[in-house]
Structure formats: structure tokens, C-alpha cells
Structure 1
């Protein structure tokens, strides 16, 4: 089982942000900007947006042109569960749950399907990681 925190240290790690948004009051924007500022390669995913922070948004995980290393969730538990089913179909087994994205059904689904997951704030776990060369 991969250690998701260790994956963050790898320079080739990519992260899909499910729930990325252009609304600066929402965590989907705060987290996206934080990880982007730290130099992570990101894929914003939101079926209701076209652009976030001047980046093209993908309407679903299936539309991302390459397989992300980690799928980070910044959506309510009901949406998390629906997208986890897509993750399973696509073989995306490394998932990160931001606070507020899980409920008992989500946790049961993760465990029953043997996902590699972490429920924690990704901004906290990446606070000492920067890929920027400036």
C-alpha cells in the first residue's frame, strides 16, 4: 500500500482536485491555489466550471488526459461517494479526503474496495513541500 504522504514528496506526483472552483471563499479554491503555489501538477475537476485559476477544468476524472497519482476530494460526502465509484472504475486507488468529504458510507466504500486513502488536510501535509525553484 503506498504511503500517500510519501507520494507527495515525489516530483512526478500529480493530483486531481475534485471540487476545484474559482470561488475564493470555498476550500476547492483555497486548496487548489495552495497546491499550485507549492508547484504541484494539478488537474482541476468540476462538471460545473470551465476554468479555475486560469487552468482548464475537466468535467470528470475520465476526461483527464493522464492518470493522476492522487485524487483529492473537496466535495460533500454524497458527491465523494459518486466520484469514488468512478475512481474504482478507472483504477484510481489513491484518494485523499479533505475534512467534511466523508461519512460512514464513504468510509465503508473505501475499505470494502481496498482504496489507499488518507483523511486529512492536504495543505497541512504539504506545508513543507515546495516544487518551485525560485
Structure 2
């Protein structure tokens, strides 16, 4: 993806206020925890998704995207590539339109699946690095 296209896509994603972080962790040393925390601190409404975690920092964590109380505008994936491939299928089934694959979560199969199903996808970019350029919430 050309740099200017990626920048445009990231700008669009970061203007969206409701995010889901799939792969959130209760361990403050894990990237899934830091993404969840940092997005919340930046003023975004963020839902954590992990079937093995019930609460992080007093916030309810949901077992699936389908169980969320509202539809996320962006789904941020902090999971292994094989899980990403399953989650993008769930996104398509639910009609979710934006997926951000954190470094280490992406796979060519998942990226292609998103493109074939009309899901905008950011990959090869870290949300926490790009956060430096995000609008104020």
C-alpha cells in the first residue's frame, strides 16, 4: 500500500470514536493491555474482547465482537495471525468495515480476505506509534 494511501486510511480510522481491541490482556506488560489503555486515555470509547478475560482496569471485557453493547467503528487486532484470520471473518459477518492489524497479528490471508469483503484494513503500522498523529479526542 502506498504511504499516502496508508496515511489517509489511518487518518480515517483515528477519527472514528468507537473501537474494539481484540486480544486485550489484563497483564500491563502485554501489548493488548497497552493498546486498550492508551486508546481509552486518548478519549476513545474502547471495548475489550477476549473470551478468557472478564475485566481490565474495572472495564467489562467481552467474549466476542458479537457480544459488544454497540458496533465498533474500528476493530484493532492484537492476536496471533491464525486468530486474525478467524476474526476478520466475524467482522465480515457482522458488517464491520475497518480492521487494524497490529504488528504480529497480520497475515496475507487475512489481509486478502478483508480486501475481498470490502473491509478497510491497516497493517504494517502500530496504532501506538501512529497515535502521535491522532486528533485530540
Short-chain TM bin: 0.7 to 0.9
1:6 aligns with 2:5: no
Partner of 2:45: 41
Check conservation: 1:45, 1:61, Cα contact below 8 A. Answer: yes
Question: Normalization by structure 1: what TM-score?
Answer: 0.88
Once residues 14 and 46 of structure 2 are traced to their aligned partners in structure 1, the CA distance between those partners, rounded to angstroms, is 12
Instruction: Name which of structure 1's ranges 51-60 and 119-128 shifts more when overlaid on structure 2.
Output: 119-128
**Pairing of 1:7-26 with structure 2 (within 5 A):** 7-10=13-16, 13-26=17-30
Residue in 2 aligned with 1:127? Answer: 132
Aligned pair count? Answer: 128
Distance 2:69 2:40 in 1: 18
CA RMSD of aligned residues (A): 1.6
Rounded to whole Å, the distance in 2 between the matches of 1:74 and 1:35 is 13
In structure 1, the gaps of 5 or more residues are none
TM-score by length of 2: 0.86
User: What stretches of structure 2 of length at least 5 have no aligned partner?
Assistant: 1-7
Partner Cα distance (2:102, 2:92) in 1: 19
Larger relative contact order (CA 8 Å, sep ≥ 6)? 1
Distance 1:98 1:7 in 2: 13
